[in-house]
């Protein structure tokens, strides 16, 4: 049964492995994945923990239903990119394979003297030498490990050169395209000399009530697949969102200079990928199959891979002034091989290209002509970042690179809580803007992303769904705090169950919801939590994450947006004239804190901690 999956603690300094039960009480309070991870991370790190030091812990936690229905896990640690909370969700096939080994969570402590990888083969756990893998990219690493183990089906999480060289926004890869991208978890792998984690599992799953579970899966899947959203995702993948962003004026062109580029965007919209795609594939156990697989010749040679997601297309397309889809596929493929997060990577590159355009940095410093859309220069810079060479060594430090650049560079750096601004510009979509400002892992659209607000639902329907007046339009401030709060709490719970964000309530109110999850959980595990209790569980997880960053010094002053959002109205296009009004923003923030039960400074109130059963954490 999923609730009997074990926790492994692996000390890389002493090369010791310890296996224990995950208690039912922990499962009922945090389920798995993101929730169970923060419950451990909070206690095992502290304010003085160096994100790249041996005292940081790396936690890999599978969602509770991992492998049964969908398969996703979270990788959490103190973040080298921000210095605060690090946490990243990944799909693909590793999560469900890990579940088949009987393991639900892995906690990695210490640091190995030499490069290693960890092999979990059902009940056997081995720490193996990986010096021969050091320096290989993520694709080569996976091929080599499978050959070495003579196991073509082994599932692997690994880092590329960027993680090895402690690039602060290095990702962790699995397969061609599944990436735990944000917050630099790849650098934490690298800091521990950990090249990869390998899972080979064949344990059968035991289900609490197989017949009820099967019926529930069928009903939930039918409901999900009837939504226009799931159908569109299965046809176009997440890149379909680029069209919306451009149409409504919330994409970032050339690092937020414009928010719409009219028909010019067509060259990088979802349909442009058709020429290269050989079909659509899915992560384990997912009926949606939203990922393009491509294998195609191009002016850059063979393009082979999966994806890319909307966020990656947009980060290496419009964000960098590059409207050539082949070049986007090429550059995103390089990021995936090197293990560089495409969103943060595109953000820091956008900043560098802005500084170059403004003459704040020049070719003498960069060694490259960092002009908008200069694919050759961008490609070279990606390799320099991954190897920490020349100007790439500076940029590899993310926001901390500003210390090594002329003072004026800071003025153009856009970030929230030390995480780079993304490939969208939220001046017109007020709920998106609030969600970025309040996300517990720094600038991140996935903590809340109220996509529903930009889909044309009748407002009465939305008011009913959120049980509040949510305004007449996504351009208003009314009710947006309610929407952001709703999704933050729901998503925290969904990530802990291990269901994909795209399949749960995200862009469709008819996708997988609280009721569905309550039924799935009960029939699979026997854990009977009502939708209301699941809501409280999501609130518990989100509040604990907040408590984590509050302990690191985060307060209301940090729940904000770059000045650009407040001071510069969108110059043209469908969002022309929009900006974030400071007074309205503060009002949204007040309402938002109130909904969470936090004080005016964004600190969870004592009574909230008591209500959520989090008192033990306030004492840490
Ligand atoms: S919907 Fe989610 S789980 Fe399914 S294929 Fe897409 S990313 Fe993977």
Q: What is the pLDDT of residues 561-604, one digit of tens each?
A: 999 999 999 999 999 999 999 999 999 999 999 999 999 999 99
Please tell me if the CB atom of residue 179 comes closer than 6 angstroms to any atom of ligand 1: no
For residue 443, how far is its CA from the centre of ligand 1 (angstroms)? 22
User: Does 2-200 carry CATH code 3.60.9.10?
Assistant: yes
Q: Ligand 1 pocket, 589 CB below 6 A?
A: no
CATH topology of domain 430-509+529-618: 1.10.599
Confidence of residue 619 (pLDDT cuts 50, 70, 90): low
Strands (DSSP E) found in 229-307? 277-281, 291-296, 303-306
286 lines ligand 1 (CB under 6 A): yes
> Is the distance from the beta carbon of residue 289 to the nearest atom of ligand 1 less than 6 Å?
yes
Q: Please tell me the distance from the alpha carbon of residue 80 to that of residue 397, in angstroms, as a whole number.
A: 9
More confident residue, 529 or 472: 529
500 Cα: distance to centroid of ligand 1 (angstroms):
6
Report whether residue 230 contacts ligand 1, using a CB cutoff of 6 Å.
no
Interval between CA 70 and ligand 1 midpoint (Å): 8
Site to probe by mutation for ligand 1, drawn from 92, 290, 293, 308 as the one with most ligand atoms within 8 Å of Cβ, is: 290
Q: Is the CB of 512 under 6 A from ligand 1?
A: no
Q: At residue 469, does pLDDT exceed 90?
A: yes
Q: Looking at ligand 1, which residue's alpha carbon is closest to its atom 6?
A: 290
Q: Ligand 1 centroid to 589 CA: how many Å?
A: 32
Residue 519 has pLDDT above 80, yes or no: yes
How far is the centre of ligand 1, averaged over its atoms, from the C-alpha of 567 (Å)? 37
Distance CA 110, CA 15 (A): 9
Q: Residue 331 has what pLDDT?
A: 97
- Averaged over 393-409, what is the pLDDT? 98
Task: Compute the chain's Rg from CA coordinates.
Answer: 22
State which ligand 1 atom lies nearest to the alpha carbon of 92: 8
Q: What is the pLDDT of residue 620?
A: 58
**How far does residue 50's CA lie from ligand 1's centre (Å)?**
34
* pLDDT tens column, 249-289: 999 999 999 999 999 999 999 999 999 999 999 999 999 99
Average pLDDT over residues 514-542: 98
Query: What fold characterizes domain 231-399?
Result: 1.10.569
Mean pLDDT of the chain: 97
Q: Is the dihedral of CA 103, 108, 112, 115 positive or negative?
A: positive
Q: What is the mean pLDDT of residues 154-174?
A: 98
474: tokens are 């996504």
More confident residue, 304 or 410: 410
- Measured from the CA of 71, which atom of ligand 1 is nearest? 3
Answer yes or no: is the C-beta of 232 below 6 A from any ligand 1 atom.
no
**Residue found by looking up tokens 């790396």 in the block:** 58
Q: State the CB neighbour count (10 A cutoff) for residue 357.
A: 17
Q: What is the pLDDT of residue 125?
A: 98
**Per-residue pLDDT, 434:** 98
Q: Is 311 in the pocket of ligand 1 (CB under 6 A)?
A: no
pLDDT in the model for residue 456: 78
Tell me which residue has its CA closest to atom 8 in ligand 1.
283
C-alpha 573/C-alpha 328 separation (Å) is 24
Q: Is 494 in the pocket of ligand 1 (CB under 6 A)?
A: no
Cis peptide before 373 (omega within 30 of 0): no
Q: How confident is the model at residue 455 (pLDDT cuts 50, 70, 90)?
A: confident
Instruction: Indicate if ligand 1 lies below 6 Å from the C-beta of 276.
Output: no
What pLDDT is recorded for position 176? Answer: 87
Domain boundaries, the chain: 2-200, 231-399, 430-509+529-618
User: For residue 148, what are the CA distances in angstroms to 195, 221, 575?
Assistant: 15, 38, 54
| Mean pLDDT in residue range 142-157 | 98
Nearest to 170 by CA among 45, 74, 80, 106: 80
How far is C-alpha 545 from the geometric centre of its chain's CA atoms?
Answer: 15
Residue positions counted in the chain:
620
Q: E strands, 442-485, where?
A: none
In DSSP notation, 241-295 reads HHHHHHHHT-B-BTTTTBS--GGGGGGGSGGGGTTTEEEEE--TT-SS--EEEEE
Atom of ligand 1 nearest to the CA of 290: 6
Does the CB atom of residue 41 touch ligand 1 within 6 A?
A: no
Closest listed residue to residue 33, CA positions, set 536, 447, 525, 497 = 497
pLDDT digits 0-9 by tens, 500-512: 999 999 989 999 9
Q: Which residues contact 59 (CB under 8 A, 6 or more apart)?
A: 37, 40, 41, 74, 75, 76, 77, 105, 106, 107, 108
The answer to which of 54-58, 121-125, 469-473 has the lowest mean pLDDT is 469-473
Range list of β-strands (E), 397-540: 415-416, 419-420
Residue 70 Cα: closest atom of ligand 1: 3
Q: Whose CA is nearest to atom 5 of ligand 1?
A: 282
């Amino acid at each position: 049964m999923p609730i009997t999956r074990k926790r492994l603690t692996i000390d890389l300094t002493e090369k010791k492995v310890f296996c224990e039960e995950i208690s039912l009480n922990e499962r009922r309070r945090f389920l798995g994945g993101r929730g169970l991870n923060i419950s451990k991370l909070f206690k095992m790190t502290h304010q003085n923990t160096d994100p790249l030091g041996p005292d940081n812990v790396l936690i890999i936690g599978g969602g509770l239903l991992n492998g049964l229905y969908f398969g996703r896990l979270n990788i959490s640690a103190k973040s080298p990119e921000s210095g605060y909370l690090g946490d990243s969700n990944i799909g693909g096939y590793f999560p469900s394979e890990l579940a088949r080994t009987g393991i639900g969570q892995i906690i990695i402590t210490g640091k190995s003297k030499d490069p290693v990888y960890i092999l979990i083969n059902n009940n056997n756990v081995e720490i193996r030498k990986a010096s021969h893998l050091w320096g290989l990219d993520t694709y080569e690493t996976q091929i080599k490990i499978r050959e070495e183990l003579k196991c073509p089906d082994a599932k692997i999480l690994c880092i590329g050169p960027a993680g090895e060289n402690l690039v602060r926004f290095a990702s962790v890869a699995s397969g061609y395209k599944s990436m735990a991208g944000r917050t630099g978890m790849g650098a934490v792998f690298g800091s521990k000399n950990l090249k990869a984690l390998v899972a080979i599992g064949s344990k059968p799953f035991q289900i609490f009530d197989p017949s009820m579970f099967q019926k529930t899966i069928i009903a939930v899947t039918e409901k999900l697949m009837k939504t226009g959203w799931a159908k569109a995702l299965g046809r176009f993948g997440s890149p379909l969102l680029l069209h919306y962003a451009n149409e409504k004026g919330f994409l970032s062109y050339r690092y937020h200079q414009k928010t719409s580029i009219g028909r010019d965007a067509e060259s990088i919209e979802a349909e442009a990928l058709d020429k290269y795609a050989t079909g659509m594939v899915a992560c384990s156990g997912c009926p949606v199959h939203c990922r393009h697989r491509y294998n195609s010749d191009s002016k850059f040679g063979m393009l082979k891979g999966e994806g890319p997601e909307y966020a990656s297309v947009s980060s290496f397309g419009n964000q960098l002034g590059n409207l050539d889809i082949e070049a986007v596929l090429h550059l995103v493929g390089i990021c995936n091989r090197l293990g560089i997060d495409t969103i943060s990577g595109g953000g820091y590159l956008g900043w560098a290209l802005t500084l170059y355009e403004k003459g704040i940095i020049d070719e003498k410093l960069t060694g490259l002509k960092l002009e908008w859309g200069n694919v050759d220069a961008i490609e070279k810079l990606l390799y320099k970042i991954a190897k920490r060479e020349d100007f790439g060594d500076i940029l590899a430090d993310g926001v901390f690179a500003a210390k090594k650049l002329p003072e004026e560079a800071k003025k153009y750096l856009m970030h929230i809580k030390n995480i780079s601004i993304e490939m969208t510009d939220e001046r017109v979509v007020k709920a998106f803007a609030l969600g970025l400002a309040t996300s517990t892992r720094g600038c991140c659209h996935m903590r809340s992303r109220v996509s529903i607000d930009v889909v044309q639902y009748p407002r009465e329907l939305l008011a009913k769904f959120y049980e509040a007046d949510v305004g007449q339009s996504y351009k208003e401030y009314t009710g947006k705090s309610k929407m952001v709060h709703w999704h933050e709490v729901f998503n925290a719970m969904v990530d802990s169950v291990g269901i994909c964000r795209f399949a749960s309530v995200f862009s469709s109110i008819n996708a997988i919801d609280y009721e569905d999850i309550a039924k799935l959980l009960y029939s699979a595990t026997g854990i009977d939590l009502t939708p209301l209790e699941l809501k409280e569980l999501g609130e518990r997880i989100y509040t604990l994450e907040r408590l984590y960053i509050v302990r690191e010094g985060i307060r209301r002053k940090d729940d904000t947006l770059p000045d650009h959002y407040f001071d510069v109205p969108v110059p043209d296009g469908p969002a022309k004239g929009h900006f974030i009004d400071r007074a309205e923003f503060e009002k949204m923030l007040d309402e938002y804190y109130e909904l969470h039960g936090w004080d005016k400074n964004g600190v969870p109130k004592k009574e909230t901690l008591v209500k959520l059963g989090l008192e033990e954490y306030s004492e840490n």
